[in-house]
Amino acid sequence: MIELRNLTKRYGDKTAVDELSLTLEPGTVTGFLGPNGAGKSTTMRLILGLDAPTSGTATIGGRRYADLRRPLRTIGALLDAKAVHPGRTGRDHLRAMARSQDLPARRVAEVLELTGMTAAARRRAGTYSLGMSQRLGIAGALLGDPRVLMLDEPVNGLDPDGVRWIRTLLRGLAAEGRTVFVSSHLMSEMEQTADRLIVLGRGRLVADEPMSALLTAGGTVVRGPDLGPLAAAVEAEAPGTARWTGDGATSTTELTVSGRTPEEVGALAHRLGLPLHGLAPAGRTLEESYMNLTAESIEYEAATPAGGAR
């Protein structure tokens, strides 16, 4: 478990992280999103003790990173895939990490196999592509078999097979009861990987929601032969949240209910005794939800050329 309590970091007159409070639970893949400059990397550095907070606390399992006697056994992290001595082989890099934590030598072979790096282990890290460096970094994060894993942009440089591999890996680790905290700018991939999303904007918490809530924020589309009573019940509880969206060409009508999940709309229809022919989210993507949440938090916004792109 990772706990942040009123975590704040200032650099001169700039506040990079502002009174951030979060609890990251085991058994969950938590995605970490935000525009460039939002404070994501700074937050991760504060958790690992690489930067000192101006105020507030960051703990892993109730302890500061600096107080962990064998930190790799508690939390594995990847912040910069290229932060490896270029003249050292991948295997020797992991061996040095293992010795520093009193980990058995066999663990190096295990994580090389797990990350698909066995064949490249004797090559110098300076010859690795970005994708290979990412895999080596993930191997290092997994070396101590930690209960907490924190990765910053782990899919950068990976091919489609590698992206699918890390998605499966992260979800598998969470299913084992581990805490998984991962940042990414790839919305489609985060949508398939994360259970919960934390969104930062200018150092502040913008959203902390289950993935399902963000994807259904656009509402629910419901189809059936007689939805009049359902529309009336929805409008009685929340005026202006039900609108007819079908074309009226068939005996089945279509209604869009904003602000409610398919489960909530289905339960209401059941109480009213109404048959339904279809029930689905209104189709909002994670990217759409994210752009709505961060519209006021973009620090580095590029101008659109007059006349559009050529």
Per-residue model confidence (pLDDT) at position 286: 78
Residue range 4-46, pLDDT digits in tens: 999 999 999 999 999 999 999 999 999 999 988 899 999 999 9
Per-residue model confidence (pLDDT) at position 78: 96
DSSP state of 74: T
Give the model's confidence band at 269: pLDDT under 50 very low, under 70 low, under 90 confident, else very high: very high
Helices (H), 17-129: 40-47, 90-100, 106-114
Per-residue model confidence (pLDDT) at position 173: 97
Cα distance between residue 66 and residue 50, in whole Å: 9
Q: 3-state DSSP: the chain helix, strand, coil percent, rounded to 5?
A: 35, 25, 40
**CATH numbers and ranges of domains, the chain:** 2-214 (3.40.50.300), 219-282 (3.30.70)
Q: What mean pLDDT is reported for the chain?
A: 90
Q: Which of 107-111, 140-144, 161-165 has the lowest mean pLDDT?
A: 161-165
Residue range 242-265, pLDDT digits in tens: 888 766 445 578 998 987 888 899
Q: Coil, strand, or helix at residue 167? A: helix
Residue 304 has pLDDT above 70, yes or no: no
Per-residue model confidence (pLDDT) at position 245: 79
Residue 122 has pLDDT above 70, yes or no: yes
What whole-number percentage of the chain has pLDDT above 70?
91
Q: Which two tokens stand for residue 265?
A: 């709309």
Q: Which residues are 180's β-sheet partners? A: 29, 149
Region 278-296 average pLDDT: 74
Region 84-109 average pLDDT: 96
Residue 294 has pLDDT above 80, yes or no: no
Give the model's confidence band at 213: pLDDT under 50 very low, under 70 low, under 90 confident, else very high: confident
CB 253 within 8 A of CB 227: yes
Among 203, 204, 264, CA closest to 234: 264
Per-residue model confidence (pLDDT) at position 241: 86
Region 67-87 average pLDDT: 95
Per-residue model confidence (pLDDT) at position 138: 96
Q: Which two tokens stand for residue 20?
A: 């951030």
Residue 307 has pLDDT above 60, yes or no: no
Region 283-301 average pLDDT: 69
Per-residue model confidence (pLDDT) at position 310: 45
Q: Which of 161-170, 184-193, 288-297 has the lowest mean pLDDT?
A: 288-297
